[in-house]
Amino acid sequence: MMASRHTVRRLARNLLSPTVFSTFLLLVFSFGAPCATSQTWKPLGPSGGDVRALASDPARPSVVYLGTTDGHIFGSEDGGRRWRLLGMVGASRNAIVTSILVDPREPTTLFASSWTREKQGESGGIYRSSDGGRSWREFGLAGHAVRALVAAPSDPDTLVAGALDGLFRSHDAGKSWELITPAHDPELRNFDSLAVDPRNPEIIYAGTFHLPWKTTDGGQDWVAIYEGMIDDSDVLSLAVNPSNPEEIFASACSGIYRSDDAGLHWKQIQGIPDSSKRTLVIRFDPANPGTLYAGTTDGVWKSTTGGDHWRRASASDWVINSLLVLPAIDASGSFRVLLGTEQQGVLISEGMSGKFEPANDGFEHRRIVSLTLDSENPGRLGAVLANASDAIVTTDDAGETWSPLGSGLASASVRRLYSTPDGWWAALTSGGFARLDANSGRWLRAGMLVERGQISRAGAANPAARHIRPAATEFRATVNDLAFSENEWFAATEEGLFRSSDAGKSWSLLPFSLLVLPVDCVRVSADGTEIRIVTLHGMVFSGDSGRSWKWHDLPLESYGALRLEVEDATTLLAASPTGLYISRDRGTTWSKAQSGLPASAINDVLVRPEFWVVSLESNGLYISRDRGANWRRINNPAGTMGPDYFPILEAGIAPDRIYAASASESLYLLDLSSPEVLATRLDSGH
């Protein structure tokens, strides 16, 4: 019979010394052994992402943790070189992990603070993990937007949390909390940074959106400390010299300040240009307090003269959210600097080299907006990434390695990516298309809008004779979907359905009703005779290349179709806000898929001869191998949180493989042939 964790803990504590016991717990509970589904789900990248918080274990500096902008916690056992997803703080995808603390007495005990912006307002709280970050539970201040969390260096039981509505303190390692600032005070609010005197836990420094404050009696009395500081400075970071508590650094939106008298007077530090004055974090080198690092919105700066002189130590276009200086963690004896950035992920510099390199092995935390397979090469994929330095990336080896796809497009400017008979095309947020020019490697605007009939009949039959009238304008409709027949392209847009007979060079409106309605989805047969579209008001089908149209409706309880997939000439699948509907008579009648499939909005539908897979908005992935008669839930990959991880599905290069693009964990290859992939019950998966 397997012993419980509590039994293992009790036996180990009785048999092992305190030091050995702590190491034992770390090995047993920290990152754990690979789970049984590790071969079923294969993470493919792209690597990197946004990092908001970094922390290390004081007893074992090689153990490092990072927190993300959506509540996830990753861990590393080799000083930040390789990472593993551990768990999630809370249940909200909007939870920004603002701080992580490691209990120096119990290395498997972690604390994290979060700040969440929801529709109903800002929220957050404190969370605690007792198993090295794998599982978390609320641990006070629920509903408070906590922007900073620190432990008193001289008393690990004393925790201080800075929230938007005040400053809170715990004397019992987070079990209970008290407000130590006046309630509803107009100034003592909106706390963004904290520091505690290394020798006296009653002395607390706190930075607000406006100015810094100080208490010397644990919060009974507060004094604004801003002499020499520009008024209305958002104090983003505070750092106390561990060897000289009188020396304090404050980073603010107006620059970096130093105080040599415990905050009574401040002097603005020169040497960092105005473009880098928004300094998000400042840190001392623990082995050499005369060396400081400043993480700014324009890279990282370093001073070896106690802040008197600075030099840029990184690329200028990096945004540094967090910074960690690790002492020697291996035989080389060199220290290590870790940067937590936006877009770039983790960057590491070893020793005195000063050169920062990506360290994102295992940290694959991208949100994929669009994914497409190259129609000519099944091992080649293209992806559009949200909030990334490279808007579009591609892989030629089924996800093993990734590289930027072209130049000239910003991340937020791309809605969808398509593999067309003319190469890579992108639908732009501003409307219209861009085409990747194979010669220059740049994305160029493509497509002209012409009135119906402007392309001559000779041009439609003879590509060499195609011509466009000079009055044609640039095609700027917002594209929702793109489909191809053997001779024509079809674009579903917010301004109706458009057709091109010259590989996207020119587009004309293809009317399907008396009104011009937005079209969300288009499906076309290979010969172009069958055209099926989804609009806001229903589905419209044509069996004669668009000369005549017939409306089709789902049942009223469906609330309308969102997208359409075609299995064969007679079998159609329609995704709706309430579930999946199936027609087996060309769309004349529809029935709702049940038998194990929960009622939920559908993110995506993948139809293959061997199986159908759907991604449900609130219930995850489900598979049917009998053409929709029965459904089974697919287990999520190990470590991932939440059921709505995979809004985009694509067929893989093998019959039982599919690609699942996640909302935050980049791309996975899923092996559907493995029995481990299915949930054990034939129900809705609860």
Coil, strand, or helix at residue 47?
coil
Residues 6+ apart with CB under 8 A from 671: 39, 40, 41, 42, 656, 657, 677
Instruction: Give the pLDDT score at 38.
Output: 38
β-pairing, 448-449 with 506-509?
A: parallel
- pLDDT greater than 90 at residue 48: yes
pLDDT over 50 at 188, yes or no = yes
Tell whether the model's pLDDT for residue 452 goes beyond 90.
Answer: no
Each residue of 308-332: b (16+ CB within 10 Å) or e? eebebbbeeebbbbbbbbbeebeee
How far apart, in whole angstroms, are the C-alpha atoms of residue 173 and residue 152?
A: 11
Average pLDDT, the chain: 87
DSSP state of 557: G
Residue 330, pLDDT score: 66
| Banded pLDDT at 82 (limits 50, 70, 90) | very high
Q: How many other CB atoms sit within 10 Å of the CB of residue 476?
A: 16
Element (H, E) at 457: helix 457-461
**Position 277 pLDDT exceeds 80:** no
Give the chain's end-to-end CA distance (angstroms, integer): 27
Distance (Å) of CA 216 to CA 56, 172, 199, 213, 262: 28, 20, 12, 10, 11
CATH for the 47-143+359-364 domain, from 2.30.42.10, 3.30.300.30, 3.40.720.10, 2.120.10.30:
2.120.10.30
Pairing mode of beta strands 423-428, 235-240: unpaired
Q: How confident is the model at residue 467 (pLDDT cuts 50, 70, 90)?
A: very low
Instruction: For residue 250, give the nearest of 272, 229, 275, 232 by alpha carbon.
Output: 229
Phi, psi of 558 (to 5 degrees): -75, -25
Is the bond preceding 470 in cis, omega lying within 30 degrees of 0?
no
Amino acid at the residue 471: A
In whole angstroms, what is the distance from residue 516 CA to residue 560 CA?
18
Domains of the chain, residue spans? 47-143+359-364, 366-430
pLDDT score at 276: 65
* Residue 184: both structure tokens together: 């509803």
Q: What is the pLDDT of residue 680?
A: 56
* CA dist., res. 538 & res. 532, Å (int): 11
- The sheet carrying 368-374 orders its strands as 368-374, 377-385, 392-395, 403-404
Which contacts qualify for 395-403: CB closer than 8 Å, 24 or more apart?
A: 395/44, 395/45, 398/44, 398/652, 398/653, 398/669, 399/44, 399/45, 399/659, 399/667, 399/669, 400/44, 402/45, 402/46, 402/47
Q: Residue 514 burial by CB count (10 A; 0-12/13-18/19+): exposed, middle or buried?
A: exposed
Q: What is the DSSP string of 480-539?
A: EEEEE-SS-EEEEETTEEEEESSTTSEEEE---SSS---EEEEEE-TTS--EEEEETTEE
How many other CB atoms are found less than 10 A from the CB of residue 609?
9
Map residue 658 onto helix, strand or coil.
Answer: strand
Rounded to an integer, the average pLDDT of 157-176 is: 96
HSE-up of residue 66 (Cα within 13 Å, Cβ side): 36
- Tell me how far apart the alpha carbons of residues 88 and 588 are, in angstroms, rounded to a whole number: 46
* pLDDT tier at 389, thresholds 50, 70, 90: confident
Length of the chain: 686
Measure Cα distances from 115 to 94, 255, 412 in Å: 8, 25, 24
d(CA 361, CA 45): 9
Task: Over range 21-48, report the average pLDDT.
Answer: 58
List the structure tokens of 395. Answer: 């892989």
CA–CA distances in Å: residue 634 to residues 191, 267, 666, 678: 43, 59, 18, 5
pLDDT of residue 515: 84
Least confident of 250-254, 260-264, 468-472: 468-472
541 compared with 645, residue with greater pLDDT: 541
Residue 346: predicted pLDDT: 97
CB neighbours of residue 36 within 10 Å: 11
SS3 of residue 547 by DSSP:
coil
CB 315 within 8 Å of CB 47 = no
pLDDT digits (tens, 9 = 90+) for 364-387: 999 999 999 987 887 899 999 998
Rg (CA), the chain: 29
pLDDT single digits (tens) 134-154: 999 999 999 999 999 999 999
Shortest CA distance to 646 belongs to which of 664, 671, 633?
664
Mean pLDDT across 523-540: 95
Per-residue tokens: 161: 């949390």
| Chain centre to alpha carbon of residue 568 | 36
Tell me the C-alpha distance between 95 and 124, whole Å. Answer: 7
pLDDT at 573: 96
pLDDT of residue 151: 97
Q: Is 139 exposed, middle or buried (0-12, 13-18, 19+ CB in 10 A)?
A: buried
Alpha carbon distance 669, 660 (integer Å)? 6
pLDDT-based confidence at residue 637 (cuts at 50, 70, 90): confident
